[in-house]
Every structure is written in C-alpha cells, then in structure tokens.
Structure 1
Amino acid sequence: MKIRPALAMDYPELRRIYLVSRRQSFVWENEHEMSLEDFDRDTADEHILLAEAESRIVGFASLYLPEDFIHLLFVDPDFSGIGAGSKLLEAAVEKMNKPLTLKCVSANHKALKFYEKNGWKKVVEEAGPSGKHWLMSYE
C-alpha cells in the first residue's frame, strides 16, 4: 500500500469516496443532502494524503497542519479492512507534530473503536451543531 499527497487529478475519485463512505456510514445524516462538492468545501486549505492499493485510490486523510488536526479520514467501503485507515493514520503522525487531535462523531462506534485500537485516546465529549463528538488525542 502506498501513501502519498493527493494531486488535482485525484480529486474526482476522492470526492466519490467521501460521498459513498458518508452515505453508507453516516446513517444519522440525511444522505440526500450530501453531494460530491462537499469534499472541496470540507477540505479547503487542508493537506490531503491518499492511500493507493494496486494503483487504485482506496482512502484519504485530510489534515489541517497549523493545528496538527486530522479533519477527515475515509476509506472506500469496498476496501475496508485492508489497512488503509491505519496506514493513513501512521502517515499523518509522521507529517504532523504530537499531540495530534481529531474529532469523531459519538454515534460512529466503528470509527471510535478503530481510533482507540490505533492508540488514540478519548479526551472529552462535546456537543456541536452537528451533534455530539469525541475530541481524541494521539501523543
């Protein structure tokens, strides 16, 4: 598996992964309000790393470097379980300074387990405009 910075030519596939993943996993949101353009809005001014397996993009992480914050991490549902998410987390740790932080929606139990399995700790549960989420830290 290869991890590399995203290029402009990668964005159509990254948009697709972001949309498909959210529609399948974010059952607490209205899938009809999701669009391909959400990726561009949600990753503005962020550094994007992507994971490739056999020359196919299988996932990405969006990093807000000034705050050592992982904003988004998504893996194509068809490639779940092959280690792309863990490899993206490792690359994020190498790219940024510790401690790193991220927020994970409280209702996303699968993602919370994934982050904890990879060494992340829950810091505090907060309520925001889109519902409750955990602030998590990696040191």
Structure 2
Amino acid sequence: MNIRVANNLDYPALRLIYLESRRKSFHWADIEEMTLEDFDKDTVGEFIILAEENNRILGFASLYLPENFIHNLFVHPNFFGKGVGGALIHASIEKMNKPLRLKCVSKNEKAMKFYENKGWKKVVEEGETGERYWVMVFE
C-alpha cells in the first residue's frame, strides 16, 4: 500500500469514496442529502493524503495542518478492515506535530473504537443533541 499526497486528478475517486463511505457507515444521517460535491465543500484548504494499491485509491485523510487536526478520514467500504485507515492515521501523525486532534461523531461507534485502538483519547463530548461528537487527542 502506498500513501501519497492527492492531486486534482484524484478528486473524482475521492469524491466517490467520501460519498459511498458515508452512505454505508453514517446510519444516523439522511443519506439522500449526501452528494459528490460534499467532498469539495468539506476539504477546502486542507492537505489531502490518500492510500492506494495497484493504482486504485482505497481511502484518504484530509488534514488541517495549522491546527494539527485530522478533519476527515474515509476508507472505501470494500476496503474496511484491511489496514487502510491505520496507514492513513500513521501517515497523518508523521505529517503533523503532536498533539493531534480530531472529532468523531458520538454515534459512530466503529470509528470511536478504531481511534481508541490506535491510541487516541476522548477529551470532551460536544455539539447539539443529535449531532454530538467527541474531541479526541493523540499525544
């Protein structure tokens, strides 16, 4: 598996991964409101890395470097549980300065367990009812 910086030619595949992964995993959200364009809106000004194998993009992370913040980490549903997320987390940690932060939707129990298994700690739960999330830190 190769981790590299994304370029504009990767965006069609990244948009699709973002859409398909959220539709598969975000059981609490209205999947009909999700669009391919969400990727562009949700990654403005971010540094994007991706994982690929055999010229196929498996997942990506978008990082807000000024705040050492992982904004998005998504893996194509066909590659869940195959080490893609772990490789992206590792590359993100290497790119930024500790402590790193991220927010994880409270209802996303699989993601929460994933991050905790990678050494992330819950700091505080924030947000409105129905949109709660945990701020997590990696030191």
TM range (shorter): over 0.9
Tell me the distance in 2 between the aligned counterparts of 1:57 and 1:117.
24
TM-score of the superposed pair, with normalisation by structure 1: 0.97
Residue equivalent to 2:16? 16
Which residue identity is paired with 2:12? P
TM-score of the superposed pair, with normalisation by structure 2: 0.97
Give aligned-pair identity as a percent: 62
Alignment of 1:48-127 (within 5 A): 48-127=48-127
Tell me the distance in 1 between the aligned counterparts of 2:58 and 2:127.
31
| Farther-moved stretch of structure 1 (60-69 vs 125-134) | 125-134
- Deviating runs (4+, > 2 A) in structure 1? none
Q: State the Cα deviation string for residues 98-132 of structure 1 (Å, max 9, x = none).
A: 00000000000000000000010001111248610
Q: State the Cα deviation string for residues 74-114 of structure 1 (Å, max 9, x = none).
A: 00000111101000000000100000000000000000000
Residue equivalent to 1:7? 7
Equivalent residues, number: 139
Structure 2 runs not aligned, ≥5 long:
none
SS at match of 1:131: coil
Alignment root-mean-square deviation, CA: 1.0
Structure 1 runs not aligned, ≥5 long:
none
